[in-house]
Structure 1
Amino acid sequence: MGVDVVSRAEWGANESLGQTSSGGPIWEPEYAQPAKIIIHHTAGSDGGNDPKSIVRGIYYWHTVSLGWGDIGYNYLIDKNGVIYEGREGGDGVVGGHAYNEAKDIGYNRGSIGIAVLGQYESGVPTAAAIDALTRLSASLGVRFGLEPDGNGFFVDETLPNVFGHKEVDNTLCPGENLGSNVDTIRSEAQKLFEAAGGYAQSTNTLKASFVRQSVQPVKIPSGSQKQLWVEFKNTGTVTWRSYAQPAFKIVSANVSSNLMAGGAASGNTAVLDTPNVAPGEVGRFFYTLKAPNDTVEANDTFVLKAGSATVAIASFNVTVQVTGLSYAAAARDIEILPATFSRARNTTVVRFTNLGTQAWKRGEVKLGIYDLGNRGSRYQDASWPDDNGMFDFEELEVVSGGTATFRFVLLSPDEPGLYLNVYRVSGPDGLAQKEDRSVTRVDSPYEAKFISHTVPAAMLNIWRPAVTLTFKNTGVMPWDRSVGLQVVDLGDTDSQFANSNWDDIRIATHLNEAQVNPGEFGTFTLRLYPPQNPGLYLNIMRVFKDGRPIKGGTFNAITRVD
């Protein structure tokens, strides 16, 4: 619920009275989560026909005469029930309206001071003023989760959430006739508070959309911290408050993040640069990251949280480039073929830039090549000095900012597929490096396309037909007589047409021609020995090389045996 409030500009505040010669505020605003509402009377005129002039007079008295720099009340109310904005700064700003001189204790931080124009020790407040005070108390209660009829510990004692000034100071304020209405104001405000939904505002109304952030990537010296900022638009229904609980935090989406100055689990406090960000407005959050000392670059995704609740859609990515490391490296270029053939030997060049402050000497810094999980690379060649390579660079020395050249041979795996290499440079002081990878597709150099066959669709079980299958060599390597034709049944079980006259129980025959070059046709001839039992039978016929089927070289023949 909301109430209409006459702004400072509308009641004619001369803002220059509260400014220093340089234009800044004499009374710098502070903010705190409101926990209490303290009711006052101004003990003077009720404003008569010109209440704005009285508000301006109080403003001058507090700002200039008392030297505070601004009016002390957060709100003022006239006899007509009109509500005026008091202390500059908006929601949560700390006023100056309740101080116990005898105790030397202030009750301003965490409270909202509302003053009704007039003197009510003998005077009587109007129904309009009481009604406005009630509605304003309920509205503030909803806004700050402050139950009007509740109570709780405040500063040095337990107090109602809405009470008169004299409860905490040696004063008659807010006067007997206004003070006697406080219980009714409390109870009626509670009814309005509950009707408006109370303080039970779900965190699902906390929503934000990313706007922009500090320039990326950000450079941070190793082990040092740096303050960054990120801006979000408040797309929810709840005002963000820098002084309220739960506090905002920037938390990594990665539980093992090494960038969080406060630790990955707890996250870092996110400080709003303005006390209140209403729905539709943009707020800038400041937070701190710490550069790790074991990598040259770190990437992470962060989310904005209010306490333990993630603010919906509020995430962003950060890249930190770590500087000042003694030994550090980054891949400059990796000359890896995107695709190659099985058993191919390819000379490869990988270059790394020395990002550290110390020069590299040959023999101190080496390049290792790994598979996932620190397993040995599938590209290991007999020329490697170690199972993981551990190659020296070609230069005698690589100064800071210079380039190291590593040259080696990769032997492609036998089996076609996608294969990964992880490249790690090792050296003194646990040389820091962002892990670099390459993925290469390994293809077979042997491929085939089925052309024709002479397998009968039906045969008698006493026949022993000789059949020929023709395939085109569509690969890049010639075929020789080591290329065979496998004949099997479903599930790769032995064919029902097999015979001891075949070259093998599985490999029935081999290539007829001595050599079939790419683009040429090769033939396979074999004799079939049908089973005695009539029925439909399947033969899966595959062109084979080195114990593996050749891609595209498969023909399925269904034959009826009578």
Structure 2
Amino acid sequence: MQCTIKPLWPHQFWWGFFLALEKDKKICYNTDMQNINTNQQVETASLKKSRKKIVVIIILLLLSFVGIIALVAMILFPFVRILSGAAQTTVSPKYAVIEEAIKVSNNVDYISPSIAFDDSFASAAISWDQDNDNGDAAIFLRSSNDGKIWSDWYETILFYKNNQTRYGEILFFPASSRYIQVKAAPDEHAPKDITIQKITINIFPETKIPLTAKIINSLAGKFKIIQALAQTAGTDVKIIPRAEWGANEDWRFCTSWDASKDTCAAKSPDPKWLPEIYPVKKFIIHHTAGDSHNKIDPKEAIRNVYRWHAIIIEGGWGDIGYNYIIDQQGNIYEGRFGGDGVQSGHTFNGPYCKRIGTAGQDATPCGVSKGDVEIGYQMNAGTVGIAVLGNFNTEVANEKVKAAIAKLINLKSQTAQINTNDTADWNVPIKVKSPDGMEPGIVESAIRDSGALLTGKNLSFDFDFTDPAKPLAVIHGLPTIISHRDVDRTSCPGDNFYPQLEEIRRLAINPTTEYEAKFESSTLPAAMYVSKADSGEIKIRNTGSRSWLKADVDLRIFDNGRKPSLFKDGPWNDPAGKFSFAEAEVKPQELASFKVPLLAPQYAGMYKHEFALFKTTDNTEIFGSAFDREMRVDETHQGEFVSSSLRAAVKTVWRPTMKLTFKNTGFATWSKNTVLEIYDPTGTPGAFKSKTQNGYTASKLGATIKSGENAVFTLKLTPPQTPGTYKQIFKLKDGDKEIWLGRSEVSIMTRVDK
């Protein structure tokens, strides 16, 4: 048998090359025909197997290619407008009107019949007319999908008012609602009779999403991690642009709306709502209210708010009234067109009408040509309005929402170069329309009168007329981060959210988790004596992701309201202490120990300490580290009243003996010169006299009383000769120092009879 190296045939070479088969093959020739046939059969079987492998590999390559295309599509998904919801079918709102005049009073609420709509909806808004300015009616809505089982009543936020007409903010309801009811009640702040009429309910039919969009949305849900990475690339604050949530930019230029065709009938070359830019001074937080658990797509919800503001309210403003909107997942959406500092329409005070020559204000249309002065407080100027899709009267803001608000404010406050801890005066422009030639003094008087209508929580203000053409309302003491209710008569952003504002303010200082801390324990004394020193240890846990070095972090102590501490001791390096921890390094989840020396102030009383950790590099407060403690400071000379042996009633002819017992509860020993003084309520010496009476002094102790011991004063008394009820007030004095008896007054009442 002879063996040689035989080259492959062309077809064999091609298959072999594609599959990385051998480049050549050894074939042994044998004159035996049986061996030749066997080799041919083996070769044929090998080729069949190779072809099957090729088919499998080609299929796998095609599937991989399709997968890569799908992966790229999902990464680009948020930036493709057709996938963002912008191309979804928009359905125009439908409305119903209750024309009848309705009177609500302190004892009578109004509830409308149920109103049915052909289209299902998950959001609605309401407007109404009011005949006077006796406060504002509280308007509630509820919905149902069958007219039998109803949602809760949701109070609409009074969003805007212009003369007689009031507009509530859009509310969100359970999905697939078809029925709605209205309830009206008087203003709880000023419950007066109110007549309302022309109640207009606008529903926003649920968006019809095409099948292809549903499929794409379903696929997108499987790539949330990839989406999140793509969205947050390059920045920790991702703001979803208007184009992505589907803002129809034509609406900003629309001057006339054709409701029958649901389209703009006429446009202007310039925006209907011209942008005005002001330096940012305040951040005002809102909620939209309604059902927090509805299933409406946040982008659809924002488009509905946009339509309500841009097209419907007051004939359409031309844009959405918020600067930013945040959903329950913490996604941040761009609102009003124009960028940072553009004046929006989220907080209103006015316009009010001052009728010259009449008392008070009036809600009826202002007639400047008739001599009236129209006044509006421009609280949207220099403010950033942030609305959260949710109802914080029924829910508490979740961590995603709080983090999103804080990160957004942190970013925008840095851009505006303002301090989020500031409470500086806020100059609010006042927009005034008055008749030509009206004396400035009359206009100024009208503005001052309108100040009575400025409402808000603890709102303190005055006026600045330095430039008569640009009067200002100067509002005092408001923090940089406030809520709608701080500047207007409203419950917005909800009773549950309002207490969370302080947390938002602290979180906005440091919205990252790199530096975070949590108070763990304290051995500080609960009480100290005046001018005496003491100390304790505070332990705080590092809950952030970064280790602390001594040079990185310090503990600072303040008096109530972040004022300089009254407990500053000699070893303090700073009025706030600036104490370093004892450890060389504090890693995440480890405890930092701070030794704190204190020197009590010279006056007794209750004091409140505020503690917080700060980064030494930039003096910013570490999130979560703040806590407070109350401490009692006692006098060294301190006691308490124990008992009196004097009867509740005596006769004028009696000479009763009274024993008064006091306990020394202080730090110092009472000297033998300690005296008992007795006063009556007018501040003159007491009406009961003792044999040893000398002015106010009724008795002298005569012995030293140590801490914990009782002092007994025994007096032979002569009652006053005029029958009546007498009050005796007791004081103890050791030299020129009054002994604190634990309360502002120690006294007894005694009746004197004939």
Answer 1 or 2: which has greater helix percent. 2
Name the larger-Rg structure.
1
When the two structures are superposed, what TM-score results if normalisation uses the length of structure 1? 0.45
Q: TM-score, normalised by structure 2?
A: 0.35
Question: More strand by proportion, 1 or 2?
Answer: 1
